[in-house]
Amino acid sequence: MEPVRILVADDNRLLLAITKDALETQGFQVVTVGSGMDVYREVLERRPHLILLDIMMPEVDGIEICKNLKRNPATQKIVIVIHSAKRDMDLMDLAYEAGAEGFIMKSNQIEEMVDRIREIVKEKIRPASA
């Protein structure tokens, strides 16, 4: 079985490096990008199964990227998880309205984030019946 491909988009380079290492340790294939426009390029090139997407990104914010990817038939099946430091219910609602399948709060507990990603992969990408 091929590894699950994850695209992590965040403008915080340290967080990108930590997240990439943590996810690769779990067997995921990970590509990172630091700006909104890079997300589109990498999605078309790499065809990730899941995108972990920061809301506050240079050029294009995560909500807009999510909406655009979900509108496009070529990318609408990619699982998108919004990743944000803001604890804001309105923001969570916006993320789900844009088509996101998950919302993860940023924290210093990288293990919690990795566990949540594993749950989402099991539920949305690799169901038990598959």
* Domains in the chain, number: 1
pLDDT over 90 at 29, yes or no: yes
In a domain, 129, yes or no: no
In a domain, 65, yes or no: yes
Between 28 and 87, the more confident residue is: 28
pTM: 0.93
Contact yes or no for 52/117 (Cβ under 8 A): yes
Give the mean model confidence (pLDDT) for residues 18-34.
96
pLDDT over 80 at 87, yes or no: no
Residue 107 has what pLDDT? Answer: 81
**Chain segment 41-86, per-residue pLDDT in tens:** 999 999 999 999 999 888 899 999 999 999 999 999 999 999 988 7
In a domain, 95, yes or no: yes
* Whole-number Å distance between alpha carbons of 125 and 120: 7
Give the mean model confidence (pLDDT) for residues 35-43.
93
Q: 55: which residues sit within 8 A by CB, 6+ positions away?
A: 61, 62, 63, 82, 83, 84, 86, 91, 95
pLDDT band at 130 (very low <50, low <70, confident <90, very high): very low
In a domain, 93, yes or no: yes
Residue 95 is part of a domain; what is its CATH number?
Answer: 3.40.50.2300
Over the chain, what is the mean pLDDT? 91
Range of the domain at 38: 5-124
In a domain, 116, yes or no: yes
In a domain, 130, yes or no: no
Side-chain-side CA neighbours of 50 within 13 Å: the count stands at 27
